[in-house]
Amino acid sequence: MYTIVTGAAGFIGSNMIKALNARGVDRIIAVDNLSRGDKFRNLVDCQIADYMDKQEFLRLIEQDAFEGEIDFINHQGACSDTMEHDGRYMMANNYRYTVSLFRFCQTHDIPLIYASSAAVYGGSDTFREDPACESPLNVYGYSKLLFDQYIRQHWDNIESQVVGLRYFNVYGPREQHKERMASVAFHLANQFREHGKVKLFAGCDGYADGEQRRDFISVEDVVKVNLFFMEHPDRSGIFNCGTGRSQSFNDVAVATLNAVQGKNQSLADYVAQGTLEYIPFPVALEGKYQSFTQADVSQLRSAGYREEFLTVEQGVSRYVQNA
């Protein structure tokens, strides 16, 4: 029997494979699209049984070609570019693909964990797994919401585990290929190493410079949540995957700068030194930007997840120092 990890060469997918390997699981079929060939680096230190292109895997799934060979599908594959405007591509890649996996899993009684996103909440100020709170600001968020809605329509007929995880702002190792969609911590660390200073957006939506707030979650914690549900196949649902704690972009900048330099300075120190600068908020992002996110993790806790989440100061320090 094989475990399937889609998006295997990507950020969360490759971290999932490393975690499974650490638990002695190596009969893994890694599924991805390596048209961006440099992503292969994320798989070099991973133990897998086979690699399969995304389109080949989808074709075989739709032909029902894996009879009795799969015990779990961890579906991390998606286009996560919030600035992608090609709605047809986004729907085919994020929505229709996931529908095909869901139908296959239900037919063969295979547990499915899939990546949803906090982007489904859009400009909402309440981040609870409730349709009343969901209002995506871009087609990426809508593609994720649409599949969540599809699952809700089928709850009464679901035969095997289905878990959707709404990822908030994830950061950590193996994200270098994401380029502009990589985390704030990744970009700030690189900015400082190259230029000796970092830049954040000036204030917007009533927030002061750099004080826009997000729920930043380490990929270490994201992997732990995935593993928890893999270990508890009796628990299904759509769950927020965040820390339940918002922190400012200024917090991320200070944590990053301190980690890179081995210092313990304050925000005021870095601003006074000119190490942290603020740039005008981009016109292109007006009306499309989440200035505040904070996961309501009560449903995740109710499902039995008890682990404490890393703070920005803890997680960013571990990430940057080991990069």
Torsion over CA: 282, 283, 284, 289 (sign): positive
104 and 60 in contact (C-beta within 8 Å)? no
Q: Which run of H or E residues covers position 28?
A: strand 28-32
Strand stretches in 79-227, DSSP E: 112-117, 162-167, 169-171, 198-201, 213-214, 216-218
Token reading at 291? 């200035």
- Give the SS3 label for residue 169: strand
> Is residue 277 within 8 Å of residue 197, measured between CB atoms?
yes
CA–CA gap between residue 228 and residue 244 (Å, rounded): 18
C-alpha to C-alpha distance for 4 and 19, rounded to whole angstroms: 14
User: Which residue in 140, 142, 270, 289 is the catalytic one?
Assistant: 140
**Three-state SS at 257:** helix
Among the listed residues 18, 51, 178, 207, the single catalytic one is 178
Per-state percent for the chain, helix, strand, coil, to nearest 5: 45, 15, 40
The span from the CA of 168 to the CA of 118, in Å, is 5
Q: How many CA atoms lie within 13 A of 252 on its CB side?
A: 29
Identify the three-state secondary structure at position 63. coil
Residues paired with residue 163 on neighbouring β-strands, in sequence order: 113, 237
Tell me whether residue 140 is one of the annotated catalytic residues. Answer: yes
- Which residue numbers are catalytic? 140, 178
